[in-house]
Amino acid sequence: MHDTADAVVIGGGILGASTAHFLAKKGFGQIILLEQRTLAAVSTGHSAAAIRTFYSNPVTVQLAQRAVEMFSNGEEELGGDCDFRQIGYLALLDEAGIEAGKTVVQLQREHGIRIEELTPADLSDRLPMVNLDDISYAILEPDSGFADPKKTTRNLVESASEWGLTAHEGVGARSITLTNGRVSAVETDNGPIQTPVVINAAGGWGRQLGLTIGLNYSFRWSREYDVVLNVPFDTADYPWLTDPQLCVYSRPAGPRQLLVGLGFPKEIEPLDIDNYDTTVDDASRHRVEEKIFQRVPSTREGSFDHGWASMYTISDDWHPLVGPEPEIPGYFACLAGNGHCFKLGPPLGEALADVITGNASKIDITGLRPSRFIEGDYFTSAWGSGNRA
């Protein structure tokens, strides 16, 4: 292993892989990515992988818009095709959700995003299996969809080797070393790497790593799960369906399969990040099924195929922490993916790489600076607290 680098990125999920990719692509020199398990082993590899622009603040909308652009052109922008399936993202809203929905539509249109406003009558032919009885209004993003999170992460890492990125899987970072207050090295399982720049993209373990240099991030961790159901209908025309009323989302997982998960607001399920059940237990499965049976009644006639559980790392305002720590030259955070950062990973990595290399970013991400919490500059959402930002 190299014992010096121009930058060390800690964490091989989508946030670390993206930042490392774009640092290398922008010519920052020798970049080392450390992943204590395997690439995309934790949240990223278990993501439902929605790529949508349905957000209610300008920074996130711009990042999500850039994500759609990047995934649409994976070979050029992300180092390879990421199996982006633009099946459309459809939000079903009842009377109470119309106002927030219109806010989102207006913001999207201000940014030039293609979006359609629909009535239940517009949907009944396309989606005869969906119960639209309580739905008053629907929003469709035709260009949104989902991609393959493991493939995306590998593409980003492997394609950047030609520009100087070296990834070490199975090698953990133990601590960051400061000399005279600035980053000077990373202590790893295989010994130290001298470096002037470190990016903390350690996901759920980002707090633990921050503590090694006196940073105390306020995070919570929640167990999140998805299930795959065999269903008695063809999913060819089924979009990504989000349902803020019942707090359930679903999308095709195969020709006659749906991936189904729960949205917020709901109870956070705290977990021990080093020791939690990664399978879907019966109680979790029933919680998901109870909701999807209401929205898509014929799923009752289907069967459970498989499922998995992983985690959200949640910040105090449900938005990621991305940027420098002004008191610690050479240190950058790219943390707290909440429920958004599979899609936001590539544009955030690109923007953070611009900040680190001193280039002008396409998108101004200073709003995501980690210091916003002590400054009281929190993000809010048209939907209230939760991952529906």
Cβ 353 to ligand FAD shortest distance, Å: 15
# residues near ligand FAD by CB under 6 A: 42
Q: With contact defined as beta carbons under 8 Å apart, do 352 and 365 qualify?
A: yes
- 20 touches ligand FAD (CB under 6 A): no
Nearer to ligand FAD, 79 or 98 (CB): 79
Nearer to ligand FAD, 102 or 266 (CB): 266
Q: With contact defined as beta carbons under 8 Å apart, do 207 and 274 qualify?
A: no
- 16 touches ligand FAD (CB under 6 A): yes
Q: According to CB under 6 A, which residues from 324 to 343 bind ligand FAD?
A: 337-343
Mark the segment that binds ligand FAD (CB under 6 A) among 158-166, 270-278, 309-317, 325-333. Answer: 309-317
Q: Which of 5, 7, 8, 11 binds ligand FAD (CB under 6 A)?
A: 11
Q: According to CB under 6 A, which residues from 196 to 235 bind ligand FAD?
A: 201-205, 209, 224-226
Query: At how many degrees (to 10) do helices 58-72 and 98-110 cross?
Result: 60
- Give Cα 341 distance to the centre of its chain: 2
Nearer to ligand FAD, 68 or 358 (CB): 68
Cβ 119 to ligand FAD shortest distance, Å: 26
Q: According to CB under 6 A, which residues from 143 to 182 bind ligand FAD?
A: 172-173
What is the total residue count of the chain? 389
Q: Which of 7, 24, 50, 104 binds ligand FAD (CB under 6 A)?
A: 50
Query: At how many degrees (to 10) do helices 341-357 and 14-25 cross?
Result: 40
Cβ 109 to ligand FAD shortest distance, Å: 22
Cβ 57 to ligand FAD shortest distance, Å: 15
Nearer to ligand FAD, 189 or 301 (CB): 189
Kindly state the tokens that stand for 179.
Answer: 């000399």
Nearer to ligand FAD, 37 or 362 (CB): 37
Cβ 185 to ligand FAD shortest distance, Å: 14
CA distance 11 to 105: 35
By rule CB under 6 A, what string of x and - marks binding of each residue 29-48 to ligand FAD? -----xxxx---xxxx-xxx
Q: According to CB under 6 A, which residues from 266 to 295 bind ligand FAD?
A: none
Q: Which of 144, 155, 310, 381 binds ligand FAD (CB under 6 A)?
A: 310
Cβ 362 to ligand FAD shortest distance, Å: 19
Mark the segment that binds ligand FAD (CB under 6 A) among 90-98, 104-112, 285-293, 308-316. Answer: 308-316
CA distance 242 to 94: 12
Q: According to CB under 6 A, which residues from 345 to 374 bind ligand FAD?
A: none
The dihedral built from the CA positions of residue 159, 191, 353 and 197, taken in this order, carries a sign that is negative
Task: Using CB under 6 A, list all residues that contact ligand FAD.
Answer: 10-16, 34-37, 41-44, 46-50, 172-173, 201-205, 209, 224-226, 261, 310-312, 337-343
